[in-house]
Structure 1
């Protein structure tokens, strides 16, 4: 299955439409009944998540009827779709509103994420900010770009390598089990500035554009990471799981670190994660 530039333009337009019609009208306008808990008070779903995912899924099915479409919210109804990503000829992975807690709290730090996979390989990624109207895009082998609402396009690159004490980074330790939770939260004091955005989309945006040096997560749900890992790699960065193996579609455990280069990744794994 070939995936063309025209197809890519269709995806960007579809995501922008979903943002305009389903997400932005509900931002700071959610009623009490429009927000529900999934696993906890910090793991939420809103009407915007559900309706934006439905909008994007319908558009994808109309243009690519044979493709596998995996949405974060649909996964709750059929969990077999994530392992199927490893072998699908063509698949799309959607996070309609990444950073739902921020969205539901009225904070403009959330985005829509879409990854395109062909035969188990991520070939394209899109991260769209509905509030700013800006989009980060990447196609395998073609670099990573930021596209402003006004039409300006610039190529992104990761930050130069830096000593650990000068690094700025984010590790999502609050979702980790012990002993990683306590170990990593303490080890983050070794860097210049730790960040916590509660939004994978923005973390990958920042690390791919060189604004921060690294990000890390323990939970590897595909809608949070597939597009972002490609965006980061195409911007020149290095990503691997905590054990040093590549992150692959269908995997949901094992932890992940994205850094400017492999040596920086090794330093972060040793000094922050505590692995040798």
Structure 2
């Protein structure tokens, strides 16, 4: 499967497995994995479908899906030493999906030797597809991704409500809430709607595809300790930014801990 075929797989899976259940989920089709962390029948079926198709096409690749790792955390250890792997987030923004919000997406990343080489974000409700290949940049529906320029202090967003409105004594613009969905947060940074995002969770299914898009577009994706984000990154948090100046401002003033 080439890059476009994998994007087609995401679109097909969304059209046949995910979107038919949008606004149609029964109570018994939603489960709370841990407090506030939801999974639906659509998450599980989408992950199984995408994973099975990728496994057929790439029989030697390690397939790591968010829901499979929840059931068996040991699966994540295979990613570190994998010569070739795919990481699947079947529905990013599941809570939004359950609540009937458009801000949900399907994300897949490919790694080779621990380096992210390709990534896909598909937003079923907007029809926007972001695709990245290492060394070849980011595309939005086969066109270029443009970043708006603003004459303001760096503007950040956070999913942590306690941080919203924090302005670091005027060094940063007041923060706004994230979309609670990396499939929308990363594009917001790509387009310059916001300048940075601060995350406290660093799961590879949430960040691998988007991080490659950010860096291929001239931005920065590093842990708060200043290390480039990788499939095995650990630490106190992750900051992504559209440029180095915004990232450094966020690292200095943004209380992610």
Query: Under a length normalisation based on structure 2, what TM-score does the superposition of the two structures give?
Result: 0.92
Answer yes or no: is the 8 Å Cα contact 2:220–2:242 preserved in 1: yes
4+ long deviations beyond 3 Å? 157-163
Is 2:249 the partner of 1:270?
Answer: no
Q: Cα distance, 1:185 vs. partner?
A: 4.4
Unaligned runs of 5+ in 2: none
The alignment status of 1:171 with 2:158, answered yes or no, reads yes
CA-based RMSD: 1.9
Change (3 A) 1:21 1:252: farther
Shift of 1:96: 0.4
Tell me, what secondary structure is at the counterpart of 1:116?
A: strand
Q: Tell me which residue corresponds to 2:70.
A: 76
Question: Which whole-Å deviations, capped at 9, do the CAs of 1:207-226 have from their partners, x for residues lacking one?
Answer: 11222211110110000000
User: Is residue 63 from structure 1 mapped to residue 57 from structure 2 by the alignment?
Assistant: yes
Task: Tell me how far 1:163 sits from its aligned partner.
Answer: 4.3
Gaps of 5+ in 1: 1-5, 148-152, 175-181
Aligned residue for 2:232?
Answer: 250
Query: Could you tell me whether the CA contact under 8 Å between 2:111 and 2:118 is conserved in 1?
Result: yes
Offset at residue 135 of structure 1 (A)? 0.5
**Preserved contact between residue 189 and residue 196 of structure 2 (Cα < 8 Å):** yes
Q: Does 1:231 align with 2:213?
A: yes
Equivalents in 1 of 2:220, 2:43: separation in Å?
Answer: 30
User: Quick check: 1:88–1:118 contact (8 Å CA) kept in 2?
Assistant: yes
8 Å CA contact 1:112, 1:127 repeated in 2? yes
* In 2, Cα distance between equivalents of 1:62 and 1:55: 11
Superposed displacement of residue 188, structure 1:
4.5
Query: Does residue 23 of structure 2 align to residue 28 of structure 1?
Result: yes
TM-score normalised per structure 1: 0.86
